[in-house]
Structure 1
Amino acid sequence: MTAPHPDPNHIRLAKRVAEQLNCSRSTAEQFIEGGFVSVDGQVQEAPGARVRPDQTVTVAPDASLLALTPVTLLLHKPAGYEAGLGLPAQGGHGNGNAHASRSQGAPQATDLLSAASHLPEDASDIRVLQRHFRQLECFTPLPSEATGLVVYTQDKRIARKLAEDIEALEQECIVEVTGEIAPNGLQRLCHGLSFNGRPLPPIKVSWQNETKLRFALKGIRPGQIPAMCEAVGLRVVGIKRIRIGRVPLAKVPEGQWRYLQPWEKF
Structure 2
Amino acid sequence: MTEARNDTVRLAKRLAAEHGLSRSTAEQYIEGGWVTVDGKTIEVPGARVAPHQSVVLAPGASLFDLVPVTLLLHKPPGFEAGLGMAAGAAAHGSRSQGARAALTLLSAASHMAGDAAETRVLLRHFKQLECFTPLPTEASGLVVFTQDPRIARKLAEDIETLEQECIVEVAGQISDHGLQRLCHGLSFNGRPLPPIKVSWQNETRLRFALKGIRPGQVPAMCEAVGLRVVALKRIRIGRVPLAKVPEGQWRYLQAWEKF
- TM-score scaled by length of structure 1: 0.93
Superposed CA deviations along residues 89-141 of structure 1, whole A, max 9, x for unmatched, are: 49xxxxxxx97863233111111000000001101010100110000000000
- 2:185 pairs, out of 192, 200, 203, with 192
Partner of 2:28: 30
Letter in 2 for 1:84: G
Q: What percentage of residue pairs aligned between the two structures are identical?
A: 75
In structure 2, do the counterparts of structure 1 residues 104 and 248 end up closer, same or farther at CA, with 3 Å as the change threshold?
same
Partner of 1:94: none
For 2:121 and 2:140, the matched residues in 1 are separated by 24
- 2:57 pairs, out of 59, 62, 66, with 59
The DSSP-based 3-state class of the residue aligned with 1:67 is coil
Are the aligned partners of 2:84 and 2:130 in contact in 1 as well (CA < 8 Å)? no
Q: C-alpha displacement at 1:217, in angstroms?
A: 0.1
Aligned positions of 1:162-201 closer than 5 A: 162-201=155-194
For 1:168 and 1:85, the matched residues in 2 are separated by 16
Aligned positions of 1:1-266 closer than 5 A: 7-85=5-83, 87-89=85-87, 102-266=95-259
Letter in 2 for 1:30: Q
Most deviating of 55-64 and 28-37: 55-64
For 2:86 and 2:231, the matched residues in 1 are separated by 27
The DSSP-based 3-state class of the residue aligned with 1:65 is coil
Gaps of 5+ in 1: 91-97
Superposed CA deviations along residues 178-218 of structure 1, whole A, max 9, x for unmatched, are: 11111110000000000000000000000011100000000
Are the aligned partners of 1:99 and 1:138 in contact in 2 as well (CA < 8 Å)? no
The DSSP-based 3-state class of the residue aligned with 2:64 is helix
For 1:203 and 1:124, the matched residues in 2 are separated by 33
In structure 2, do the counterparts of structure 1 residues 121 and 52 end up closer, same or farther at CA, with 3 Å as the change threshold?
same
- RMSD of equivalent CA atoms: 1.7
The DSSP-based 3-state class of the residue aligned with 1:66 is coil
The DSSP-based 3-state class of the residue aligned with 2:209 is strand
For 1:6 and 1:197, the matched residues in 2 are separated by 69
Q: C-alpha displacement at 1:85, in angstroms?
A: 2.3
Letter in 2 for 1:153: T
Q: C-alpha displacement at 1:79, in angstroms?
A: 0.4
Q: C-alpha displacement at 1:62, in angstroms?
A: 2.0
Q: C-alpha displacement at 1:88, in angstroms?
A: 4.6
Gaps of 5+ in 2: none
Are the aligned partners of 1:77 and 1:255 in contact in 2 as well (CA < 8 Å)? yes
